[in-house]
Structure 1
Amino acid sequence: MREIVTLQLGNLSNYVATHFWNTQESYFTYAEDEKSLVDHNIHWRPGIGEDGSDTFLPRAVVYDLKGAFGPLRKVNPMYDVAPGQDVALASLWPGKPAVHKQNPLSSIDYQKDLDAGIQPGKLKASDIRYWSDYSRVYYHPKSLVQLYDFELNSSIMPFERFEMGTELFESLEKENEMVDRDWRPFVEECDQMQGVQVYTTLDDAWGGFASSYLEALRDEHPKTCIWVWGLQSPVATIAREKRRLRLANTAMSLNQACAQASMVVPLGLPDSRVPSGIAVDSSSAWNVSALLATATETASLQSRLRLDGRSQPLGMADMAQCLNVSGRQTLANMRMSVGPQAELDSEEPPELDLSQIGSSKDGVKTGSSSNRAFGRLSSLRAPEDPAKDSSAEYMKNQRPIIGNTVVRNYKTSLLYPLLDSFPSIYNYDLQGRESIPVRTSIASEGSIVYKMKNLRSQVSPFISLEERENLVNGLADLGAAYEDDWSSGSDEDDDDL
């Protein structure tokens, strides 16, 4: 069945993944004569609710800190037990229990309208308090895992250092065998899992938590494709010391994740050079996550298309193989165009660069091979042109000549839906359309050599001596995988780090 199980780690990751699941929910069709291009069995799991009704819920394991889930209930109405039917509780204590409850958080009007079955109004950034405020889907009770050791946005003990994440994972795994408890039930119900999709932040303690989790998954599934979307929060308004900490966290997270995952794609909102048609409020996680979700959902769309004559699905492992040409290139850059710019028939890369690694103040040092691509995976979602068969031409992929760039281009007429849960960040003239063209490009490029060199030089002064050597060597090895005959001898400053 080509199932994909999704792992969501951290608050920003859950913001992005909520947009992702809302989009997947919008692909469902209910008329007998309609058939979706998307195979829902890949990301959704069938089940039976407490009342015997059929359920269709995400194949996802969602982790977040105390207070991050907002008014979202762990047990949704599909799995509610009728009052007075808790036999297990009655067998433990025959008397009348005394229940002490904290007052639950109230839902926003958007969620109340969804529960009432009426069309909700358009959301504003000021309405959003938690990622669950704009969620349009139910989750299985086993999907939601709240970690009570840390509290969201705590000023006393913030969850912000890489080492805190690794220590938390080790303690939970030792005490509860967390991976077996939370992860295994979703994998065991898959017939033929094609891979694992991981949403995680890289620049805080969740990077350490994710690194340890990925290591456990790799031990459990040594040959399974693991695709990581590595997210980074905007740093424009962050103090200098916090920026340094986030940069160090990102370096350590990339070093560990690239050693375990099949492919890692770092994503972040650019400090500048954002196209005029895109307006993102960097202070709103709802806004930032919407932009990143557009990119991740479009880039991975081929992995969940239905097997029929109208589309050419591409498995997660095939996507990673296209980019990892040498077998050591597990890091890739992401670019995106949205709106009219995405529909232009151009060989130029998309205009918006989402691969933000390290500080951009000094710019990424360029060399003779910085634009050299080893593998490129492009995805275009645009309306069909009846005048020409542009789809067949765009999807025409020839066997590459040894040494040339491996290129895979895919096109679909399924545009990106602009739902009522999605912020108004695309200021293009859509003429009443409820969807928008998008083009993404993921590439393993020579510029990663210089990004790793810059990252090493920026973080090495702030890393402890016992960790510095391993980190610097790890980033050097990661960058070396993207060197070729044009760049391998072009830099002489490696020994200075």
Structure 2
Amino acid sequence: MREIITLQLGQLSNYTATHFWNTQVEQLPTTSSAKTVTDQPQESYFTYAADEESPVDHNVHWRAGVGADGSDTFLPRTVIYDLKGGFGSLRKINALYEPESEATPGALWSGPSVVQKQQPLEANAYQQSLDSGSQAPQLTTSTVRYWSDFSRAYFHPRSLVQLYDFELNSTTMPFERFAMGSELYNVLDREHELVDRDWRPFAEEADQMQGIQVFTSIDDAWGGFASSYIESLRDEYPKTCIWVWGLQSPMLGIPRSKRQLRLVNTAHSIDQLCAQATTLVPVALPETDFPAGISMDSRSQWHTSAAMATAIETATLQTRLTQGTADQPVSLDYMAESLNPAGNQPLASMEMSLAPETDAPDGDRIDIDFFQIGRGGLGRQRDREARIFGQVFSCRALGPKGDEQQDLPGHQGRPVIGSPVIRKYESSLRFPLLDSYPRIYPRAADQQDIAVLTNLSSNTFMAPRIKTLRTESTRFVGVEEREALNNGLAELAEAYREDWSSGSDDDDDDI
């Protein structure tokens, strides 16, 4: 069934993935796998009338099952990791499953015992309205405290894995260094064999897994955790496509020492993940030249993750289309090959354009460049002169701009050796703006959906960007790890260089 199994690591990743699942969540009132609201307009392309076939194959990302009451369930194929306190009011056992019996203290200890329980967090008004079927109140940055506060989907109990070794937002022992994540994974894996315990049950129930999708932050300790986890997955599934979305938090307003630490974490994550993943796409919002048309609170992960999820959900839309529809599906592996024609270019960039109307002029579009690696050391002139190796356009009722459209080939047949590999996928499905989605696009304030275009690309401007990351990050690492990091990033940068003259003054020969 071409299943894609998702791995979510950390707060920012879970915020982003929650928007991802909400977009696809089943809205039919007869289902028990989604939290529904009565008397609400159609909110998602996931739902269609009984006599209308959905163009989206739900089985790719969702698994069918049976709840405790015998009702059919449809739950995400995902494994979710977070720190102690990171799940908010979300319970491991939900309305679809019976609570498991727990051992009493007397069964473990014959002496006197005192049971201490932490007071559980109360669900916010939005979640209470979903459970009761009443009108949902409008969410705000103050009412969204955790990613579970705006989740519209139920999850299987096996999907939720809480790590008690670190606490969310701890000031005494923050989970913020790459090495911390690697060490935590190794400790837990020696004790529990995480892939066998948490991942394998989802993989074994898949008939024909097309790939693995990973949401992880790469500028904190989760980058180290993800690198070790994906290394284990690669050992188990050596030929499976592993597609990683490397998320980064905004750096505005944080101390210089924290910025340096995040820079080093990002460098280590890119170096390690590119060695194991099929494709790695770093995703970060720009610090400067923020696109007009977006009203966003950069301190709110609910806001920042919404824009990231819109791009991710759109860029992968063609991997979950129904077979036999007008828009033919493609696999994650095929997309990865399109972006990596040389076989040594696993890193890709992503851009997104949004417009309230399908035929909106170029001036009304909202353009976001999510590839911020090494951005500080380069100007935009270099980006315009980049040579394309591989490029994948995903158009949801919105095509490329005039200058981009001219570069698209007339057909998508077998490419000539050495020529760019450019793919374009079109769909009439617009991105739905749900009541769980923040109102960050003032131009679409009265819209229920929005037209979106994403552009995944591998090109020559990545070489100087990676070089900038290498130069800036290796100054803050120890001597023993500096050489390995320096060599790894230099080798990666070399894969994105090509011997051609752009007519500009170029001093990047010494990579």
TM-score norm. by structure 2 comes to: 0.88
Deviation at 1:100, TM superposition (A): 3.9
How far apart, in 1, do the equivalents of 2:302 and 2:293 lie? 18
Q: Superposed, which structure 2 residues align to 1:69-88 within 5 Å?
A: 69-81=87-99, 86=101
How far apart, in 2, do the equivalents of 1:472 and 1:60 lie? 34
Residue 379 in 1 paired to residue 394 in 2?
yes
2:292 to 252, 267, 276: 276
How far apart, in 1, do the equivalents of 2:501 and 2:181 lie? 36
Q: Superposed, which structure 2 residues align to 1:70-469 within 5 Å?
A: 70-81=88-99, 86=101, 100-340=116-356, 343=359, 351-358=367-374, 360-363=375-378, 370-382=385-397, 396-429=411-444, 432-469=446-483
Deviation at 1:31, TM superposition (A): 2.7
Deviation at 1:362, TM superposition (A): 3.6
Match of 2:34?
none
**AA at the equivalent of 2:423:** R
Residue 28 in 1 paired to residue 28 in 2?
no
SS in 1 for 2:142: helix
1:43 to 61, 68, 85: 61
Match of 1:474?
488
Q: Superposed, which structure 2 residues align to 1:3-18 within 5 Å?
A: 3-18=3-18
How far apart, in 2, do the equivalents of 1:288 and 1:105 lie? 24
SS in 1 for 2:59: coil
Count residues with an aligned counterpart: 481
How far apart, in 2, do the equivalents of 1:53 and 1:97 lie? 40
- Identical residues among aligned pairs (%): 55
Deviation at 1:244, TM superposition (A): 0.4
Structure 2, unmatched stretches of 5+, are 26-43, 400-404
Contact 1:49–1:78 (Cα < 8 Å) also in 2: yes
Distance 1:154 1:87, change over 3 A: closer
How far apart, in 1, do the equivalents of 2:59 and 2:241 lie? 18
How far apart, in 2, do the equivalents of 1:368 and 1:75 lie? 49
Deviation at 1:313, TM superposition (A): 0.7
Deviation at 1:403, TM superposition (A): 1.9
**AA at the equivalent of 1:40:** H
Distance 1:93 1:65, change over 3 A: closer
Contact 1:395–1:410 (Cα < 8 Å) also in 2: no
Deviation at 1:394, TM superposition (A): 9.7
CA RMSD of aligned residues (A): 2.8
How far apart, in 1, do the equivalents of 2:499 and 2:382 lie? 12
Runs of 4+ in structure 1 off by over 6 angstroms are 87-91, 93-98
How far apart, in 2, do the equivalents of 1:491 and 1:214 lie? 36
Contact 1:342–1:437 (Cα < 8 Å) also in 2: yes
Contact 1:394–1:409 (Cα < 8 Å) also in 2: no
SS in 2 for 1:336: strand
**AA at the equivalent of 2:477:** I
Deviation at 1:308, TM superposition (A): 1.8
How far apart, in 1, do the equivalents of 2:129 and 2:295 lie? 28
Post-superposition Cα deviations, 1:180-230, rounded to whole Å, max 9, x if no partner, equal: 100000000000000000000000000000000010000000000000000
Post-superposition Cα deviations, 1:276-295, rounded to whole Å, max 9, x if no partner, equal: 21122101100000000000
Deviation at 1:367, TM superposition (A): 5.4
Distance 1:259 1:365, change over 3 A: farther
**AA at the equivalent of 1:29:** T
Post-superposition Cα deviations, 1:229-262, rounded to whole Å, max 9, x if no partner, equal: 0000000111001000000000000000011000
Contact 1:364–1:450 (Cα < 8 Å) also in 2: no
SS in 2 for 1:77: coil
Distance 1:243 1:379, change over 3 A: same
Range with greater deviation from structure 2 (456-465 or 272-281): 272-281
How far apart, in 2, do the equivalents of 1:344 and 1:482 lie? 34
How far apart, in 1, do the equivalents of 2:255 and 2:383 lie? 35
How far apart, in 1, do the equivalents of 2:366 and 2:126 lie? 34
SS in 2 for 1:125: coil
How far apart, in 2, do the equivalents of 1:453 and 1:163 lie? 23
Contact 2:358–2:398 (Cα < 8 Å) also in 1: no
Post-superposition Cα deviations, 1:392-419, rounded to whole Å, max 9, x if no partner, equal: x999524322222111001101100000
**AA at the equivalent of 1:458:** E
Deviation at 1:87, TM superposition (A): 9.7
**AA at the equivalent of 2:23:** T
Deviation at 1:487, TM superposition (A): 6.4
SS in 2 for 1:379: strand
Deviation at 1:342, TM superposition (A): 7.3
SS in 2 for 1:428: helix
SS in 2 for 1:13: helix
Distance 1:282 1:412, change over 3 A: same
Deviation at 1:363, TM superposition (A): 3.0
Post-superposition Cα deviations, 1:19-43, rounded to whole Å, max 9, x if no partner, equal: 0000011333253122221100000
Contact 1:415–1:436 (Cα < 8 Å) also in 2: yes
SS in 1 for 2:373: coil
Range with greater deviation from structure 2 (302-311 or 54-63): 302-311
Distance 1:233 1:270, change over 3 A: same
Structure 1, unmatched stretches of 5+, are 385-389
**AA at the equivalent of 1:59:** R
SS in 1 for 2:473: helix
SS in 1 for 2:484: helix
Deviation at 1:117, TM superposition (A): 1.1
How far apart, in 2, do the equivalents of 1:368 and 1:296 lie? 22
Match of 1:387?
none
**AA at the equivalent of 2:340:** N
Contact 2:356–2:447 (Cα < 8 Å) also in 1: no
